[in-house]
Amino acid sequence: RPRVLSGIQPTAGSFHLGNYLGAVRQWVSLQEDHDAFYCVVDLHAITVEQDPKLLRQNTRVSAAQLLALGIDPERSTLFVQSHVPEHAQLGWIMQCLTGFGEASRMTQFKDKSARNESSVGVGLFTYPILQAADILLYQAHYVPVGEDQRQHLELTRDLAGRFNSRYGKNFRLPEAYIVKDTAKIFDLQDPTAKMSKSVPGGVVELLEDTKKSAKKIRSAVTDTGREIIFDVENKPGVSNLLTIYSALSGRSVDDLVTAYDGKGYGDLKKDLGEVFTEWVTPIQARVAEYLDDPAELDKVLARGAEHAREVASVTLRRTYEKIGFVAPV
């Protein structure tokens, strides 16, 4: 079975709709017929300052959300990145292979560092290189992510190719797995920008009070005119709502456009609020159940890490050998 790997940061506690529709939804469907590895990337989280207590809590909350959203630990390997030290170890090797100029071209770093001018650490800069190590350790065929990660995936492929040509074939070149319709979910207040936890306001969080989400959806910025049609250029706000509605309800965008013919933006938003609430309420309940038993949750994660290490350690050992490190006796 082809292998997939992906990760999600535990920084905010709650995932948002962009994380779910852009990535986690695909994780759930891919586990059916792939050898899937999914991790909560806590090493990535500390590229910006974290409160230790909150980080610990949010890591468990993230794992609980993945389980509640449908990741089955019997079928997928679910683990916490810091439980598998090979990530940091291969991360160093990948850093030594990366050009400074090459890393400087990453647009996510440029955006994030522009927003946090006072506290930009080197870790934020090298983040995509650690991400490359995350992927290459497992020899993943596919990496299910949102559109914002495409450039990082290209870097991963470049680094893998460079290593292979310098030291001999060692890494599989992974492909981004990006589902076009939901590749980029937009902010409800600014439908030309991606929904992102660092720009709160138009972000729908899975774990917030559903009344709050419904209100955010009701007050989403829509476009001039009155017609409910899918037209990303001219009607980015309405198109974004239709994308979300379609993904959550399973109805096609065309079907929705027909159903809302002659109705107003207000109707669409009110109904989408209800669709979201109905979808997320049982998920919230399941998250609470998983968090009620953190010892059991930790056990699931420990089992995942054990399996992940079996795979990761083989790649790391081979990589050390190719580089010329003397193996310990």
Q: Which residues form the catalytic set? A: 112, 194, 197
Nearest-Å Rg of the Cα atoms of the chain is 21
Least CB distance to ligand AQP at residue 320 (A): 28
| Residue 240 marked ligand-binding | no
Q: Is 94 flagged in the annotation as binding?
A: no
What is the closest distance, in whole angstroms, from the C-beta atom of residue 121 to ligand AQP in the complex? 14
Q: Taking a C-beta distance cutoff of 8 angstroms, is the pair 180, 171 a contact? A: no
State the burial class of residue 323 (Cβ atoms within 10 Å of its Cβ: 0-12, 13-18, 19+): middle
CB of 328 to ligand AQP, least distance (A): 35
Buried b (16+ CB within 10 A) or exposed e, 132-149: bbbbbbbbbbbbbbbbbb
Q: Name the residue nearer to ligand AQP (CB basis): 23 or 316.
A: 23
Task: Please name the residues in contact with 9: beta carbons below 8 A apart, sequence gap of 6 or more.
Answer: 40, 41, 42, 44, 45, 62
- 117: exposed, middle or buried (C-beta count within 10 Å: 0-12, 13-18, 19+)? exposed
Q: Quick one: which H or E segment has residue 35?
A: strand 35-40
Say whether 11 counts as a known binding-site residue.
Answer: yes
* Residue 19 known to bind ligand: yes
- Please report how close the Cβ of residue 279 comes to ligand AQP at its closest, in angstroms: 17
Instruction: Pick between residue 147 and residue 321 the one whose CB is nearest to ligand AQP.
Output: 147
The whole-angstrom distance between residue 316's C-alpha and the CA centroid of its chain comes to 24
Are β-strands 3-8 and 175-177 bridged in parallel, bridged antiparallel, or unpaired? unpaired
Residue 251 C-beta: closest distance to ligand AQP, Å: 20
Neighbours of 51 (CB within 10 A): 9
**195 annotated to bind ligand:** yes
> By the criterion CB under 6 A, which residues form the site for ligand AQP?
8-9, 16, 18-19, 22-23, 145-146, 148-149, 184-185, 194-198
Between 153 and 297, name the residue whose CB sits nearer to ligand AQP.
153
Q: Does 185 belong to an annotated binding site?
A: yes
Q: Is the CB of 150 or the CB of 263 nearer to ligand AQP?
A: 150
- Shorter beta-carbon distance to ligand AQP: residue 25 or 235: 25
Annotated binding site for ATP: 9-11, 18-19, 146-148, 185, 194-198
Annotated binding site for L-tryptophan: 134
